Structure 1
Amino acid sequence: MHRIQPGELHKFNVQPIDTVDYHLDLDYAGDGIRDHRLDVMVPHDAPEPLPVYIYFHGGGWTSGDKAPLTKYCASQAADGMIVVNANYRMATHFQLKHMLEDANEVLDWVARHIQRFGGDPTRIVLGGDSAGGHIAALLAASAYEPKLAAYYGIRPQVDPENLRGLVQHCSIADVSVMFERGFVLSLNFLRMLLPQRGRGLVLRAAARFMSPIEWLDSGFPPVFVTTSERDYFYRANLNFIAALRRRSIAVDTLIYERGQANTHHTWQQDSRHPESQEVYRRLGAFVRRVAALPTALPV
């Protein structure tokens, strides 16, 4: 298990936000391990059931933890939403299948429990950065594509009409870029995510089931993509944006040029920079728009 270093924990969490309530380390799977814990952040005195933003941290599928994302998530909660910040099992001991199972179990936990925190389970937005964004996008795609859900052996725990949006921070929604010569990640990262490291599989064929861009349905929810020319996955993000537009799927973008200094991969986590604050402003506006129409809550 990845150990959280003190510097990592505090780097992005200086000057904590005190206008939200923190419910930390809730066990969503009932097995007591940290990989199956989540945090719920609730703005003070929320006047009505609020949309729910579910977030998955990055870390190259092999490392990372929800704790360093606390302030990022609290910033979104303070802007008028319930935020769920979740851990999941990671490689190399686990594969992408297990990560999708965990993310889907987070959705199940939200459906059963989020109302007592003031959240509306009919207004869900998924999000994540880097590998976490990839997991969020693949989970969203599986809600619309039964063949993809069956491939991973999951039954999506969200009705498509309740999945109102998807947020991608420096994500890799198009894994075909990993086959390009000189890409920052080797194909061993893809093999690592497959059972038995892909032995007996044609990697390009298996990669289709790992690539959200291959599973865009006309009912796919609106997407907000943030990236920059300094992002390792810049090309993958541009490909994803183009594919969404070709299918007339609503997509908002925030793209910084290389000259913008504070926009390295996953810069969105660091609230000190104006570029990050612009992400938060745009994200809040995106969630309010795509989740604007509450539906009747179950009795």
Structure 2
Amino acid sequence: MLRRAAPVHKFNLHPIDSVEYDLDLDYIGDGQKIHRLDVLAPKRADGAEPLPVYVYFHGGGWTSGDKDPLTKYCASQAAEGMIVVNANYRMATRFQLKHMLQDGNAVLDWVARNIAAYGGDPTRIVLGGDSAGGHIAALLTAAAFEPELATHYDIAPPVAPRNLRGLVQHCSIADFSVLFDRGFVLSLNFVRMLLPDRGRGLHLRTAARFMSPIEWLNRGFPPVFVTTSERDYFYRANLNFIEALRARKIRVDTLIYGRQSVNTKHTWQQDDTHPESQEVYRRLGAFVRAVAPRAVAAL
């Protein structure tokens, strides 16, 4: 397998050398950058037991962003004892939310078929992302448990629900109802932008139901780890999501910083120089180990 150095970016300074980097793997087969993913794995002896898999989607308001600046973040998680998949996907305004979910679904299909070759266990998968990427991860998780949602986006989930062990949300927006609040930081044009034909002829609140993971929770939904702060644009949406999970008796672990924590602006988790980010990494590693434990061999 081809291994290269981590991409140079301000977030990728001082690369972690205990991790192996397999970069820019084509998960669709069309040669496009938007359909590339990276696999990061801790260096281990041949024949070591398979590790849980953490699949990550970058943020960027659904319109921008790239996996490369997240390399150091993903390497930090790999060093915690997991295989990390860091993926790109198509974005607006050229594409809609359905295309992003179809790409995310294709990433999961690639993982299910190939991750064992990198030391990962395809039956122990945790999805995650920051901001818009967290939203995509949450919708993919919900679609695995809700056939109506999967049908809406024309996807056939390739990973069995029992193999999706957890969901990580960094400053995500799992509740689209907040976009209808007066004065919210994002306008309703973001809802329209993500819909086919800019939502013409659609009732936006009805359409937003299919865009809101909070609307698709059931008792089978896996445990969730939410990190947010009062400085996060989507703070209220995160609190709503946490409340909904607890109301349904779904395990939710939280790391919430107050406004006095100046390093916790939206998607601060990407910058490893902050002690608050290091706390996210420590807690995330513990979360993955708890929800996707090593299988105990039968006696």
Q: TM-score, normalised by structure 2?
A: 0.95
Q: Distance in 2 between matches of 1:104 and 1:164?
A: 16
- In structure 2, what is the equivalent of residue 243 of structure 1? 244
2:74 aligned partner, one-letter code: C
Identity of aligned residues (%): 78
- CA deviation string 1:239-273 (max 9, x = no partner): 00000000000000000000001000000000001
Q: Secondary structure at the match of 1:12?
A: helix
Q: Which runs of 4+ in 1 moved over 6 A?
A: none
1:277 aligns with 2:278: yes
- In structure 2, what is the equivalent of residue 103 of structure 1? 104
1:180 aligned partner, one-letter code: D
- In structure 2, what is the equivalent of residue 190 of structure 1? 191
What does residue range 77-92 of structure 1 map to in structure 2 within 5 Å? 77-92=78-93
Q: Secondary structure at the match of 1:54?
A: strand
- In structure 2, what is the equivalent of residue 39 of structure 1? 38
C-alpha displacement of 1:102: 0.2
What does residue range 72-221 of structure 1 map to in structure 2 within 5 Å? 72-221=73-222
CA contact (8 A) 1:170 1:237 kept: yes
C-alpha displacement of 1:77: 0.3
- CA deviation string 1:31-89 (max 9, x = no partner): 00000000000100163100000000000000000000000000000110000000000
Q: TM-score, normalised by structure 1?
A: 0.95
C-alpha displacement of 1:217: 1.1
Q: Distance in 1 between matches of 2:289 and 2:64?
A: 31
Q: How many pairs align? A: 289
CA contact (8 A) 1:56 1:132 kept: yes
What does residue range 55-66 of structure 1 map to in structure 2 within 5 Å? 55-66=56-67
CA contact (8 A) 2:19 2:78 kept: yes
Q: Distance in 1 between matches of 2:134 and 2:90?
A: 15
CA contact (8 A) 1:227 1:254 kept: yes
C-alpha displacement of 1:295: 7.9
- CA deviation string 1:77-130 (max 9, x = no partner): 011000000000000000000000000000000000000000000000000000
Q: Distance in 2 between matches of 1:44 and 1:124?
A: 19
CA contact (8 A) 1:58 1:130 kept: yes
C-alpha displacement of 1:222: 0.1
Q: Distance in 2 between matches of 1:81 and 1:293?
A: 11
1:259 aligned partner, one-letter code: Q
2:65 aligned partner, one-letter code: G
CA contact (8 A) 1:124 1:163 kept: yes
Structure 1 residues 295, 146: CA separation in 2 closer, same or farther (over 3 Å shift)?
A: farther
Q: Secondary structure at the match of 2:225?
A: strand
Q: Secondary structure at the match of 2:38?
A: strand
CA contact (8 A) 2:143 2:157 kept: yes
CA contact (8 A) 2:51 2:294 kept: no
1:263 aligned partner, one-letter code: T
- In structure 1, what is the equivalent of residue 21 of structure 2? 22
- CA deviation string 1:170-212 (max 9, x = no partner): 0000010000011001100110000000001000000000000
Q: Distance in 2 between matches of 1:21 and 1:72?
A: 14
Q: Distance in 2 between matches of 1:20 and 1:176?
A: 40
Q: Distance in 2 between matches of 1:191 and 1:151?
A: 17
CA contact (8 A) 2:150 2:156 kept: yes
CA contact (8 A) 1:123 1:294 kept: no
Task: Name structure 1 gaps, 5 residues minimum.
Answer: 1-7
Q: Distance in 1 between matches of 2:267 and 2:8?
A: 15
C-alpha displacement of 1:157: 1.1
Q: Distance in 1 between matches of 2:62 and 2:99?
A: 11
Q: Distance in 2 between matches of 1:273 and 1:48?
A: 32
C-alpha displacement of 1:9: 5.4
Q: Secondary structure at the match of 2:21?
A: strand
- In structure 1, what is the equivalent of residue 4 of structure 2? none
The RMSD of aligned alpha carbons is 1.1
C-alpha displacement of 1:10: 1.2
Structure 1 residues 265, 289: CA separation in 2 closer, same or farther (over 3 Å shift)?
A: same
Q: Distance in 2 between matches of 1:36 and 1:119?
A: 21
